[in-house]
């Protein structure tokens, strides 16, 4: 295969790879964008593959930088909170923000991918190559071998960037050369996607919420789609007497959902067919000790740090990787030998932070969101945010509605958890009514550490008469 040797190779034309190609082309680089699958714009979609995602501020920040945010957001469906569905009783809404004005956005994964791919394809110097599956890579020379419908072909690049997902072939090649080590931590849970079609041409559920059915050992969520359907994702152990594998007949499927998800059954006429034919997805966390080799081969996005989906930050975090790599190239004058190690140094701890938060959020969504104690704590946190704007900020606010370092968001969670519900309630009440707390302890110090300098409403005991 004829190939220009000055083309930077981006392996993977998914969300991160296409965004990366846009950023690199705007820097003046020539980019070869390789993808193992056919062109996704042809309309072929893998059944059961996740069709929507939650786009929040970290992802939007990246899209703004290439002028694609308005186009993408035109079809977005803002979700301002969670709608919790109990087994019996009415659903309860839990706002994401104190004022109720912030939202994460349900976006079609395919539409977003196509928009990014078309944006990259329209830039001078970007050359997409579909049906190219990487099967060989020499990290020392940048020589790549691909399997294509026409047979094996080779190409060489000065820099090879792996944005090819959790099962990254680029990472696999670096692993084979002994240039990194990896850990793959899979949950014993899997997921299966189901569909709620429109009802009478309209949404069957409130489209302004992410719907959650917390059931302890299992959980289901539903996100709205532009065609007024909902995509439901059932999370359940993959094996066992109560698992994704345990429902082996239409009658068993119907019986299980009627018992545990009764309000879903009348809204999902294709429930049995979806359950029987949609594949089971795996859930896990990928970690690597190194994200680059020789300043010539690099990893980003899921290829470097795949996470479980329970914070809705996988794509957002990958987009943030691209922004940080672009920043590192600015600071290093496009010297890849300097930029790739700097990128890893800045992003690796943040990736680990969101991986830990995503796992913790799984437990929260599965077990705790329906708890009166959890709901009371959330109300107190919102009261503090209203009373102390910019000084007390919840972890969810930091992660979803800002570009604050994820390490700091994780630390904030630790600080907030160190304060007891009673401490938080007293602090919220004091702030709300401009009172002075005649009590001072470590918990209040920790609240202050998160938000900034000491508040006037906290005073050490015995200092006021």
pLDDT, tens digit only, all 465 positions of the chain: 344 568 999 999 999 999 999 999 999 999 999 999 999 998 665 554 567 899 999 999 999 999 999 999 999 999 999 999 999 999 999 999 988 899 999 999 999 999 999 999 999 999 999 999 999 999 999 999 999 999 999 999 999 999 999 999 999 999 999 999 999 999 999 999 999 999 999 999 999 999 999 999 999 999 999 999 999 999 999 999 999 999 999 999 999 999 999 999 999 999 999 999 999 999 999 999 999 999 999 999 999 999 999 999 999 999 999 999 999 999 999 999 999 999 999 999 999 999 999 999 898 888 877 777 777 777 888 888 888 777 778 888 899 999 999 888 887 655 555 455 555 555 555 555 444 443 444 444 444 444 444 343 333 333 333
Instruction: Supply the pLDDT for residue 298.
Output: 99
Residues 312 and 226 in one domain: no
Residues 228 and 270 in one domain: yes
Residues 31 and 164 in one domain: yes
Which one-letter DSSP state was computed for residue 189?
E
Residue 327 maps to which CATH number?
Answer: 3.50.50.60
Domain-embedded: residue 426: yes
Cβ atoms 154, 145 nearer than 8 A: yes
Domain-embedded: residue 95: no
Domain count, the chain: 3
Residues 357 and 426 in one domain: no
Domain-embedded: residue 235: yes
The model's pTM is 0.88
Instruction: Supply the pLDDT for residue 411.
Output: 79
Residues 295 and 259 in one domain: no
* Torsion angles phi and psi, residue 7, rounded to 5: -75, 130
- Non-local (6+) Cβ contacts of 52 within 8 A are 106, 107, 108, 109, 223, 225, 231
**Number of residues that this document lists for the chain:** 465
Q: Which of 361, 395, 422 is the last residue of a domain?
A: 361
Cβ atoms 350, 305 nearer than 8 A: no
Domain-embedded: residue 435: yes
Please tell me the distance from the alpha carbon of residue 160 to that of residue 139, in angstroms, as a whole number. 8
* Torsion angles phi and psi, residue 282, rounded to 5: -100, 155
Instruction: Supply the pLDDT for residue 443.
Output: 43
Residues 295 and 420 in one domain: no
The boundaries of the domain holding residue 52 are 8-75+108-184+285-361
Q: Which of 282, 315, 337 is the last residue of a domain?
A: 282
Residues 176 and 234 in one domain: no
Residues 69 and 179 in one domain: yes
Which one-letter DSSP state was computed for residue 389?
T
Q: Which of 351, 302, 316 is nearest to 72 (CA)?
A: 316
- Bridge-based pairing of strands 160-162 and 8-11 is parallel
Name the region of 151 (left: φ>0; alpha: ψ -120 to 50; beta: rest): left
Please tell me the distance from the alpha carbon of residue 101 to that of residue 389, in angstroms, as a whole number. 14
Domain-embedded: residue 100: no
Domain-embedded: residue 241: yes
Please tell me the distance from the alpha carbon of residue 12 to that of residue 324, in angstroms, as a whole number. 19
Q: Which of 227, 249, 282 is the last residue of a domain?
A: 282
**What is the CB neighbour count within 10 angstroms for residue 430?**
21
Q: Where are the alpha helices (DSSP H) in 147-265?
A: 169-176, 250-260
**What's the sign of the alpha-carbon dihedral 433, 438, 444, 445?**
positive
- Bridge-based pairing of strands 437-438 and 458-459 is parallel
Helix, strand or coil for residue 90?
Answer: coil
Helix, strand or coil for residue 138?
Answer: strand
CA distance to 36, 141, 171, 248, per residue, from 181 (Å): 24, 21, 9, 39
Residues 259 and 315 in one domain: no
Residues 122 and 34 in one domain: yes
Residues 140 and 222 in one domain: no
| CA torsion, ordered 92, 262, 270, 256, to nearest 10 deg | 130
Residues 173 and 190 in one domain: no
Which one-letter DSSP state was computed for residue 367?
I
Whose structure tokens read 């290093």?
332
Domain-embedded: residue 302: yes
Domain-embedded: residue 444: yes
């Amino acid at each position: 295969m004829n190939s220009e040797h000055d083309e930077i190779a981006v392996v993977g034309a998914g969300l991160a790879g296409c965004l990366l190609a846009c950023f690199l082309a705007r820097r003046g680089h020539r980019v070869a964008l390789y993808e193992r699958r056919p062109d996704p714009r042809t309309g072929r979609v893998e059944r059961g593959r996740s069709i929507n995602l939650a786009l929040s501020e970290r992802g939007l920040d990246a899209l703004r930088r290439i002028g694609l945010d308005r186009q993408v957001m035109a079809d977005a469906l803002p979700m301002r909170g969670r709608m919790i569905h109990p087994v019996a009783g009415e659903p309860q809404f839990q706002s994401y923000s104190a004022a109720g004005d912030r939202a994460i956005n349900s976006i079609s994964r395919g539409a977003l991918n196509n928009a990014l791919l078309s944006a990259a394809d329209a830039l001078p110097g970007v050359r997409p190559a579909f049906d190219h599956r990487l099967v060989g890579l020499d990290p020392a020379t940048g020589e790549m071998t691909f399997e294509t419908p026409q047979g094996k072909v080779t190409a060489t690049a000065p820099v090879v960037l792996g944005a090819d997902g959790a099962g990254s072939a680029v990472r696999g090649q670096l692993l084979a050369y002994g240039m990194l080590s990896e850990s793959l931590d899979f949950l014993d849970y899997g997921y299966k996607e189901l569909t709620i079609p429109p009802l009478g041409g309209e949404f069957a559920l409130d489209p302004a919420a992410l719907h959650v059915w917390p059931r302890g050992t299992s959980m289901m969520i539903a996100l709205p789609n532009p065609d007024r359907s909902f995509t439901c994702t059932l999370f359940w152990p993959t094996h066992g007497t109560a698992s994704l594998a345990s429902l082996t007949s239409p009658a068993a499927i119907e019986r299980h959902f009627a018992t545990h998800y009764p309000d879903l059954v009348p809204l999902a006429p294709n429930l049995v067919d979806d359950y029987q034919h949609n594949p089971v997805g795996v859930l896990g966390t990928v970690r690597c000790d190194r994200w680059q080799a020789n300043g010539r081969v690099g990893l980003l996005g899921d290829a470097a740090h795949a996470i479980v989906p329970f914070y809705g930050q996988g794509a957002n975090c990958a987009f943030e990787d691209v922004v940080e790599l672009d920043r590192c190239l600015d600071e290093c004058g496009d010297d890849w030998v300097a930029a790739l190690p700097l990128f890893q140094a800045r992003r690796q701890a943040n990736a680990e932070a969101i991986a830990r938060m995503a796992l913790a959020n799984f437990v929260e969504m599965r077990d705790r969101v329906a708890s009166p104690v959890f709901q009371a704590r959330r109300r107190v946190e919102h009261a503090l945010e209203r009373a102390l704007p910019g000084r007390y900020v919840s972890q969810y606010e930091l992660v979803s509605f800002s570009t604050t370092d994820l390490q700091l968001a994780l630390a904030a969670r630790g600080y907030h958890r160190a304060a007891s519900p009673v401490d938080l309630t007293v602090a919220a009440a004091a702030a709300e009514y401009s009172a002075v707390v005649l009590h001072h302890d470590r918990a209040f110090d920790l609240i202050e550490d998160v938000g900034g300098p000491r508040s006037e409403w906290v005073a050490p005991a015995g200092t006021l008469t």
